[in-house]
Amino acid sequence: MALDEATAGFLASMAEGGGKPLHEMQPDEARALGPMLMELSGPGPEVTSVAEENLTAWDGGSFRVRTLIPDGTVKGVFVYYHGGGWVIGDIDQYDGLGRELANRTGCAVVLVDYRKAPENQYPAAVEDSWTALNWVAGRVRDIAGAEVPLIVGGDSAGGNLAAIMAQRSRDRSGPAIALQVLVYPVTDADLDNGSYSDPANQLMLSRDSMVWFWDYYVPDKSARSEPDASPAQAKDLSGLPPAVVLTAEHDVLREEGEAYASALESAGVPTQSRRFPGQMHGFFSMVNILPGAATGMDYVSEAVNERLATLK
């Protein structure tokens, strides 16, 4: 089906503003788009408390994490990795989404501000994500007030990192993960599949912009087939935590996200997957901008709550 009316209107409004396509920008130019979307989204809902910490990275650098605590009994801790092609985006832009997620799931949400390329290329984002996950796992009781389930999730590049964290936790006897939530995740570096080639999918995220992201993040093309870059390339997907996968109909990443969901299911991993019709890449994070964001949040929060209910 065609893009839904709200999405088409949003894209038309953006086009009226002019500006270069993402793949023709420098990283700093692209990062400057974030505050505009934050202004459109507005502030997120109130939460009980917010805490921010600086963590020391694997190479001596540092990055931020922000913990959002909802009202009432905390049912889980949700480590969320934001999107942005490993180059743009930050936890300030995702604060509203994190607050919504916390209130809708009853989970403390920890937003991870992993370092970005090109200043910090692969595997910096992966290692920062791993550092953050282990930091959270060691503090679940302090964060939640009890030992509660741990969830990982993220959108786009963040979905890539969440999938990799699930694999690492299995392979390295890391933190026990109750659920992985993958929102239109990057799972492979194949830039020539059907959804990449479809002209109807060349929207806010296009094939050209994914080339741009990959070139900044993993310039060594031979490294892109490593499972820490392309989780779909892992030889074995069995034994991973249950998965919830969201894809958008008009998204260059649709095919790889759905292929990964199918591969998880084939490997015996309990998996639920849904394609959102009429939606483009990025819809989930456009809280208060696109109605599809609310529909996506409904789907994720219901899946999280259902999974947590089985663990009581």
155, 195 Cβ separation under 8 angstroms = no
Question: Is position 156 annotated as part of the catalytic site?
Answer: yes
Q: In sequence order, what E strands does the chain have?
A: 49-56, 62-69, 76-81, 107-113, 150-155, 179-183, 243-250, 271-280
Burial class for 221, CB neighbours closer than 10 Å (0-12, 13-18, 19+) = exposed
Cβ pair 110, 77 in contact under 8 A: yes
Query: What whole-number distance in Å separates Cα of residue 244 and Cα of residue 284?
Result: 14
Q: Are 177 and 151 in contact (CB under 8 A)?
A: yes
Tokens of 86: 């490993």
Q: Which of 156, 169, 206, 301 is catalytic?
A: 156
Q: How far apart are CA 255 and CA 249, in angstroms?
A: 9
Residue carrying the six token digits 């998204």: 251
Q: Which residue is catalytic, options 82, 230, 281, 301? A: 281
- Residue 251 falls in the annotated catalytic set: yes
Catalytic site residues? 156, 251, 281
